[in-house]
Amino acid sequence: MTDGLSMVLFSGTTDKLHAAATIVAGAAAMGRPVNVLLQYWALDAFRADRIDSDHGLAFDAMTPGSSRPVAGAADIPWLETFRMAKELGDVTIQACSGSLETLGFEADRLDELVDGPCGIATFLTAAEGGQILFI
């Protein structure tokens, strides 16, 4: 078994992006290679023209009696955490080529944190022998 951590990042709300970024940064700080594949709403959240927008919260936040993030969803530092993770460790962030087709835009519209497009087969091959998460 390798110490690589692979993550299919599908969700595009601030809270899940934050949870994902925290895991990526934690693994990167341990010296583990991390490989993230952006699909659907996470891919859409990394579009350069809306990456700095408020991406809202998961539906769970609407359950009666639930807490609110202290600083407000728009201030949760998920993007900074991804940036820091890439600076301090071996982190790759790629755009699922199938999801690019489904959503109808090109990889050049993504933030520069994204390293390029990647097919699912290539991603799964790189992920073999390590841990894998779907968020």
Cβ 83 to a copy of itself, closest distance in Å?
17
Residue 64 in contact with a copy of itself, rule: CB under 8 A: yes
CB burial of 34-72 (b: ≥16 within 10 Å; e: otherwise) equals: bbbbbbbbbbbbbeeeebeeebebeeeeeeeeeeeeeee
Q: Which of 4, 16, 38, 93 binds a copy of itself (CB under 8 A)?
A: 16
The number of residues that bind a copy of itself (CB under 8 A) is 63
Nearer Cβ to a copy of itself, position 116 or 122? 122
Cβ 116 to a copy of itself, closest distance in Å?
18
User: Residue 117: how many CB atoms within 10 A of its CB?
Assistant: 20
